[in-house]
Structure 1
Amino acid sequence: MTTEIFTSRTPEAASATAPPPGPSAPRRTPRPGLFSALSTVVLFVAGVAVLEIGVRAGVWSSAVLPAPSTILAALGDAVATEQFWSDTARTSVEVVLAIVFGSLIGLGAGVMFWKLPILGRVFEPYLVSFYAVPLVLFYPVMIVLVGINATSVVILATIMAAIPMALNTTVGLAGMRPVYLKLARSLRVSPRQFLIYVAIPAAGPLIVAGLRLAVVYALIGSIAMEFTTAQAGLGYRIRYLYEIFANEQMFAHILAVLIFSAILTTLLTVVEKAILRGRKA
């Protein structure tokens, strides 16, 4: 007589003898750049729709804020005039010069403050103070010194752009990891090689952040200075149209400034990616 013995497998035993689960499929996450672009488009379309519907429904008067379609039509009329392109050319030259000069001066000042910490501690409070004060207050002084022309606008916009560039460069270089200094000493690189190939790339993220702020402040400074007492430029044209109650044309020029700002931001993003890509390489 054969006795059959049946054994029950516990859940623990079953799990122990079961084959290990295979690798799970990776989750697809949306690309940050694509998600940001889609979010921007959605918000822009939603904002334009709200403004258009608000005017059409009579929530507010078109004299206060015209409909986006009306502003776009007014911008089309303005683009067809020679005056618009003359103002745009002057503002563009002022902004570009302020960005170039401000970035170079700020980068040089930041390196100097890093090389001479005592000098940096002396000037840093003044830079921070100028950073907080609207430099448009000094525009009457610039008029007395250089006259009512584009030079005064470029000088003050350059100062506004140079201050954040200098502060960010100083902080970035001062926060450099000590291992870079030890590596440079071991390789016996020259001070110039260390600055170009080690120090500036190491402080790259903060320097790029300073460049972004320099672009923003150069644009703000140029438009604000033109708006105050200049005789040409997009800022001056906005103030002039406001004074003669040309509401639709005024908002059309404001839209032109926004488009100009978006173009600058896009170009800056391309430059930033190129700089950081070169830093990683």
Structure 2
Amino acid sequence: MQDERQMAVPALVMPVDGLSALVRKAVRGAIETAVEQELTLALGRTTYERAVTAVGYRHGTMPRTLVTSAGPVALRLPRARLQQADGSTQEWRSTLVPRYARRTAALDETLARLYLSGASTRDVRRAVALLFGTTAVSKSAVSRVVTRLQGAYQQWQQRSLAEEPIAYLILDGQRHRVRADGRVTWCSILMAVGVRPTGEKVVLGLPVVGGEQTAAWAQLLEDLTQRGLARPQLVISDGSKGAAAALEATWSGIAHQRCLVHKLRNLIACVPRSLRSAARGPSNGVRSSSRSMKRGPA
């Protein structure tokens, strides 16, 4: 019986490997077809067609390896030269697969998530090798991805809010493990979420700070106002005294409400453990009632 089980294991594993190869083959075909169509549009003709006015010409293919979420994919991409206004020619560059691209955006996102979740550069490289079957991700590649992500975050964090019609503002603070200065530590992340008159929510700010003191909240609110955020009708927060003090200093007399979810959680925490399950039923009823009141009668 044991020998039969051991023989059955490879039979179960092989289809998975075959499926991975099939996925990579499909990805390869899709990328090569898309790049070929891109070049056809640039030249105005397919491989064997003749154009009345030549805008360029093909000259073979070149090998490329692109690391995707399905693993490394070996490609044969077409090459061409395009006519310039001065009569010279210039090498055609694909916008779908840029010249120096070695990884897809999905893989870069995976690298960033692994690194920012606290994994070291070595751990990230090991994880990529296990997940995607490649070791073609260097330490410097991980650093470049993170640097690019930091730049995008800074640009997003500094965007104008002058055109945002925010009616309600939700403030919350959470603690997470983050990587800072080459080491993993616990940091507070303050979150400001705006609610438009349509009910649509939009994240306005997400700074990483040392704690949830008044100064940190005041800095967040000052940043929001400097970026053009108008005074909202109502602010909802988690009951933080620091947030309340900063709100009063920024928008004196503003309507401020404590988050119902946080209030109910604090109430449940005061109930003996043996009775918490019974207490959660009525608390959920309160939340359901509040939703019904907001929606109005059917």
The alignment's TM-score, normalised by the length of structure 2, stands at: 0.21
Higher relative contact order (CA 8 A, sep 6+): 1
Higher helix share: 1
Between Structure 1 and Structure 2, the one with more strand by share is 2
